[in-house]
Chain A
Amino acid sequence: MPIQLNQVYYTYNLNRPDSKRALEDISLTFDDHCFTALIGKTGSGKSTLIQHLNALLLPDSGRVQINEHVLDFPVQVKKNGKVNYRKMKKLHKKKLPQVKEIRKTVGIVFQFPEYQIFEETVLKDVSFGPKNFGCTEEEAIEKAKKALTMVHLDESFYERSPFELSGGEKRRVAIAGILAMEPDILVLDEPTVGLDVRGQREFFHLIQDLYDQGKSIILATHQMDVVLRTCSRVIVLDQGKVVLDSTPLKLFQDKEFLSSSSIEPPIVFSFAMSLIERGMPIRLENIRSTSTLAEEIARVKGGKQ
């Protein structure tokens, strides 16, 4: 269990009039080599939770454990009888030598990751991370090249300016920048927003590929077709709480839960459900995409298999 969250609470602007509770009593375990979806409507706490997975945010109470590293709040810093959380966090962040280790274990790809690109060539940009973590120039370049290969960007890209690339290519450069730090766990926060259909398709192939190469994937997304196609587990957040922890297959059949939430099954799935309602004996558990649905229908209708 590389990541474990135990009764994690988090509030933005704590003790201020505009304070906003974003996470409430979150207890979750993410296993080795998982492919997990994090879903829930805008504002439900997905990004906040994600930032706890590599110590960008620290819990107000509860604990986060990443491999052997524990993040919690044993210290109480008080001022006028009140806990001064801000000060406490500052202190704590300084005293967190494990943060570097954690950031090497868990890599986060944010929305619009291309905004984090800043070097003048692709190779320089991707090797920035490893260099920052103490690799020599040569080691860093080595790791950068390996990462670029993983995202299918070949040598011809090394010396190009990242700013001249297409949206999809930029995003791959940004991900390579994270991969170069060789994290075991890759966390992606709505990573395909703004990509066109082909860009999205390529991107999800890439993530699937990285999973097959042994990475754990945690993916916040609104794209239920992707959840159905790729994820083996799905966690639903609502107002900062975990309201469901299940599989895509179970979730998309749970009419009661769906009607009380804003989640809609992907069109492949609802289409398959309609066929079943009309009496076609296809097996839902085999359906993850348009092509698997077509295969199921062909099986029933006696097309070629």
Chain B
Amino acid sequence: MRSKKKELELTKRDENIPLDSAIYLSNLSFGYETGKLNVKNVSVDIKKGERVSIIGHNGSGKSTLSKLIDGILVQNEGDIYIFGVKMTDENALILRKDIGLVFQNPDSQFIGSTVRDDIAFGLENNQVPYKDMDAIIEDCARKVDMEEYLKSEPSNLSGGQKQRVAIAGAIARRPKILILDEAGAMLDPKGKKEIRAIIKERKQEDPDLTILTITHEIDDAYDSDRVLVLNHGEIILDDRPEVVFENDDLLRSIHLDIPFSHKLAKVLRKNGVDVPEVKNDEELLEVLCPSN
């Protein structure tokens, strides 16, 4: 085991990075094969406590970016700073302790032979004392409604149940940065809501928690402070959700959905019904059928 002193040396902040920065990416590029970049020159500063969504078409590089931040992949160019500390081969494992990443495909995440072991494994990595483990595991499993399954083999669970376990494992470690890569994609709408509520609760308990949500769901994106739009590996938009979802033409051009009210208003105009620009469903309802 590394000495405390060595660990401190490896995690020295870079003074040029703002103090309130959680994830600072500077000109980050990565390609799986030579001659092709799947993440292109990405620069962004995600602040402590910010809730950021990343949206983008299939293959735009969202999962790749999250793996770079978690130090699973190593960039070809550029730098990653976690809380101001530049990530290197030597300190990546230390920095990762602050990051909880829930993979898009939970199958690639399980290590333990039972759900309990699997959650315990992550805790062990973070040096949580053994005497506290059971209580933490049970509490997190209860939160995601998987308490009954602690003894089950992860491979026997359904896709949605696996995602719940993966989320339990991530929040059990109490990371300072939580990255959810389409973490609710396999859940039904109620399950998705439950997960949203769990994350909200964690955020309330720990307002400094930084959350990065990769999603195709407009609801998730609206729930965040800031939306990054990724297209062919590049960030092409970085703004508040209200602003991003105003931009119908752009969203459509990169294969993303636009809010229902915008869509209906557009089709109505095509059908010869005169409707003004509306912000949301309530406004459109009021325009079409004023309540008196």
A interface residue numbers (CB < 8 A to B)? 12-13, 18, 40-43, 47, 111-112, 166-168, 190, 193-199, 222, 224, 262-264, 267-268, 271, 274-275, 278-280, 290-291, 293-295, 297-298, 301, 303-304
On whether the beta carbons of B289 and A279 are closer than 8 Å, the reply is yes
A224–B188 Cα gap in the complex (Å)?
10
Residues of A contacting B158 in the complex (Cβ-Cβ under 8 angstroms): 42-43, 47
Residues of B contacting A279 in the complex (Cβ-Cβ under 8 angstroms): 289
Q: From residue B206, how far is it (CB to closest CB) to chain A in Å?
A: 27
Q: List 23 A-B contacts (CB under 8 A).
A: A12-B156, A42-B158, A111-B159, A166-B59, A167-B59, A194-B58, A196-B216, A197-B255, A197-B257, A199-B58, A264-B189, A267-B260, A275-B285, A275-B288, A275-B289, A280-B289, A291-B267, A294-B270, A295-B271, A297-B288, A298-B271, A303-B268, A303-B272
Residues of B contacting A13 in the complex (Cβ-Cβ under 8 angstroms): 156
Residues of A contacting B285 in the complex (Cβ-Cβ under 8 angstroms): 271, 274-275, 278
Residues of A contacting B270 in the complex (Cβ-Cβ under 8 angstroms): 294
Contact of A294 among B185, B255, B268, B291 (CB under 8 A): B268
Residues of B contacting A196 in the complex (Cβ-Cβ under 8 angstroms): 57-58, 216, 255-256
Contact of B255 among A198, A262, A271, A297 (CB under 8 A): A198
A267–B217 Cα gap in the complex (Å)?
14
A190–B191 Cα gap in the complex (Å)?
15
B263 CB-CB contact with A under 8 Å: yes
Residues from 7 to 64 in B contacting A, C-beta threshold 8 Å: 57-59
Residues of B contacting A42 in the complex (Cβ-Cβ under 8 angstroms): 158-161, 186-188, 191
The chain B residue with its CB closest to the CB of A13 is B156
Contact of B271 among A47, A193, A304 (CB under 8 A): A304
A298–B266 Cα gap in the complex (Å)?
12
Asked if A43 meets B160 with Cβ closer than 8 Å, knowing A193-B185, A271-B260, A271-B285, the reply is yes
Residues of A contacting B189 in the complex (Cβ-Cβ under 8 angstroms): 222, 224, 262-264
A67–B50 Cα gap in the complex (Å)?
57
Residues of B contacting A275 in the complex (Cβ-Cβ under 8 angstroms): 285, 288-289
Residues of A contacting B281 in the complex (Cβ-Cβ under 8 angstroms): 267, 271
Residues of A contacting B267 in the complex (Cβ-Cβ under 8 angstroms): 290-291, 294
Asked if A194 meets B104 with Cβ closer than 8 Å, knowing A12-B156, A42-B188, A275-B285, the reply is yes
A295–B189 Cα gap in the complex (Å)?
28
A18–B155 Cα gap in the complex (Å)?
14
The chain B residue with its CB closest to the CB of A22 is B158
A196–B54 Cα gap in the complex (Å)?
13
Residues of A contacting B104 in the complex (Cβ-Cβ under 8 angstroms): 194
A194–B63 Cα gap in the complex (Å)?
12
Residues of B contacting A293 in the complex (Cβ-Cβ under 8 angstroms): 264
Contact of B268 among A40, A274, A297 (CB under 8 A): A297
A293–B256 Cα gap in the complex (Å)?
21
Asked if A195 meets B273 with Cβ closer than 8 Å, knowing A42-B186, A271-B285, the reply is no
B190 CB-CB contact with A under 8 Å: yes
| Given A197-B216, A222-B187, A271-B285; 18 other pairs, CB 8 A cutoff | A12-B156, A18-B152, A40-B188, A42-B159, A42-B187, A111-B159, A167-B58, A167-B59, A193-B186, A222-B189, A271-B281, A275-B285, A275-B289, A290-B260, A290-B263, A295-B271, A298-B271, A301-B288
Residues of A contacting B185 in the complex (Cβ-Cβ under 8 angstroms): 193-194
B196 CB-CB contact with A under 8 Å: no
Residues of B contacting A294 in the complex (Cβ-Cβ under 8 angstroms): 264, 267-268, 270-271, 273
A43–B146 Cα gap in the complex (Å)?
11
The chain A residue with its CB closest to the CB of B291 is A278
On whether the beta carbons of A278 and B271 are closer than 8 Å, the reply is no
On whether the beta carbons of B264 and A271 are closer than 8 Å, the reply is yes
B182 CB-CB contact with A under 8 Å: yes
Residues of B contacting A111 in the complex (Cβ-Cβ under 8 angstroms): 159, 186
The chain B residue with its CB closest to the CB of A165 is B59
B279 CB-CB contact with A under 8 Å: no
A42–B273 Cα gap in the complex (Å)?
41
The chain A residue with its CB closest to the CB of B264 is A290
Residues of B contacting A193 in the complex (Cβ-Cβ under 8 angstroms): 159, 185-186
On whether the beta carbons of A262 and B188 are closer than 8 Å, the reply is yes
A271–B268 Cα gap in the complex (Å)?
14
Residues of A contacting B257 in the complex (Cβ-Cβ under 8 angstroms): 197
Residues of A contacting B152 in the complex (Cβ-Cβ under 8 angstroms): 18
The chain A residue with its CB closest to the CB of B286 is A278
The interface bits of chain B over 124-155 (1 if a CB of A lies within 8 angstroms of the residue's CB, else 0) are 00000000000000000000000000011000
A290–B159 Cα gap in the complex (Å)?
30
On whether the beta carbons of B289 and A298 are closer than 8 Å, the reply is no
The chain A residue with its CB closest to the CB of B251 is A197
A47–B159 Cα gap in the complex (Å)?
10
The chain A residue with its CB closest to the CB of B59 is A166
Asked if A41 meets B191 with Cβ closer than 8 Å, knowing A166-B59, A197-B216, A275-B285, the reply is yes
On whether the beta carbons of B58 and A166 are closer than 8 Å, the reply is yes
Residues of B contacting A304 in the complex (Cβ-Cβ under 8 angstroms): 271-272
Residues of A contacting B273 in the complex (Cβ-Cβ under 8 angstroms): 294, 297-298, 301, 303
